[in-house]
Structure 1
Amino acid sequence: MAAACLVLRRSLRAGQLLGSKPAWPQPPQANMSFATLSRGRRLALSTLGVVIAGGAGLALALHRSVKASDLELHPPHYPWSHSGFLSSLDHASVRRGYQVYKQVCAACHSMDYLAFRNLVGVSHTEAEAKALAEEFEILDGPDDNGEMFTRPGKLSDRFPKPYPNPEAARASNNGALPPDLSYIANARHGGEDYIFSLLTGYCDPPAGVTMREGLYFNPYFLGQAIAMAPPIYDEVLEYDDGTPATMSQVAKDVCTFLRWASEPEHDDRKRMGLKIVLMTTFLTAVIFYMKKHRWSVLKSRKIAYKPPQ
């Protein structure tokens, strides 16, 4: 211990004599980096990193491949007539789609956010919409005696619900709650592509897959087991305009109707966008002309300010 103190005192004194700060003894440090390694070691470390990353990716891919979700299909994209930037909805198809909803879908699914007046000027005239509303008996009241009563429907009434409450809906559908269809085209990934694929995609389950009683196999549905029985088939109804009611035609019409229900401003939005594009193009041409031929002369002028006398 005494020898160590003597060595430390001599080193401090030597630093003071040299006019520099005392240098404390530093522990040895390893000076190693990727750049200082030899070429062979760098190549080996790079290869090891690539192998580890590739192995991790392969393990993740194999882990996903063994899941049952592999049976779920992504809906393809269909060439809808209203999918273009300047394309409007097929209002004849919207009219037929409402007929499909009324005769097929309304038995289980509600549309709480649509009223009969929304059909006026879109798929039906005002007289036709009134006639459709009057077909239903609407519970109203209370009256002057405090009692509820029924009356014929009016344009201001919303589409009637098939069940009085969600509990009754579940009890009638083996515990499954049919979703409301007002905004279903926006609420599902894929929109009308998903709905069309779901309606026409029922098939037999593959080998090794057993469906529980009351469920049906549909590869486009999450989990592939859906409680809704196949709702449409060829000639499931007879269109008022005489259009052949094939399965694909019925699915296409109801998808168009649900797109309009989810986005009633579809045509107005595209019409407004076209006006904005035309107006912007005109204003851009005018501004370019003014800058090129009217304001460009100001760049060559020299403005001199005289000091006040």
Structure 2
Amino acid sequence: MYDAIDPAAGPEAGGQDGSGHDGMGYYPSEGGGFIDGLSDADRDMAASYGWRDTAGILESYRSLEDRLSGALRVPGEDAGSEEQAAFYADVSSRWTPKDGYRFKMPETLPENFPYDQAFAQEAGDWFKEAGLHPEAAQKLHDRWVGKMAEQFSAHEEAAFDAAQKQGEAAEAAHMSLVREYGEPDSDGYQNAIAKADRALSTLKTAGVDLTGWFAEKGALTTAGSDGLQQVTDPVAVKLLAFIHDSAFSEDGLNGFGAGGEGGNPFETGNPDLRQQSDLLENSPLRARQMIVAAGRDPRLFGL
């Protein structure tokens, strides 16, 4: 990562040079000098660095000192956290990209994987703040994307399995109703479905929405993009049809009117205000039942 501090190159090594010394070149000074008084090992080192006299040694030292002054100094074992953090900030600033990280996408991602570009940019800012090397940042990015891809694939697989099971349950429920009421275009089948639908709608108008409850119990599928739900348990249809026949059919309302005259005083086409007032005051539960049967909201009457 950083240049090694090398001494100045000296002359090439030679063999016998006529001086009687083997190894690195030997350069005796005129009239003798301090080099002549060195040991063979020191004399070889001086020759390898090109030191012919004290001036050469001092020049080499000054060059070494200049280079050391610009070198990084690793904090010692007793350095405090602030000193260590300052050292890392100085080092990481040399490789942290000024214009942000440019991540490469892993090749094994699912085709429909929803890559979050905005979050990747935000994570890149975190990596930059932490001083991560681009290679380290790329590895973390790949690990994160890989984990998200695993979860996405697992969710897709679970959703597919759930949809397949719901489809099979809906088909089984349909066949059960066909066996009991006849083919889908038969009167028996159509009447059962119509009764169940009317009971469900009437209850919803009265403030009792059972669609969510049936869905939680697995009797209805969750609503699709078209808002429709399928029956996955034939018992739901039978129950709603029973509720219709017991509480909401016109026959079930006979005798509810005052004086035994029949009819529903809450019908919008033929209201009877006197009977309405009497029922609301003396029999609010029966009034509520008749209001719902008329397809109206009991809350409009204070119930």
User: Which has the greater radius of gyration?
Assistant: 2
TM-score (ref. length: structure 2): 0.20
Higher helix share: 2
Which of structures 1 and 2 has the larger relative contact order (alpha carbons within 8 angstroms, sep 6+)? Answer: 1
Query: Please, what TM-score do these two structures have when normalized by structure 1?
Result: 0.20
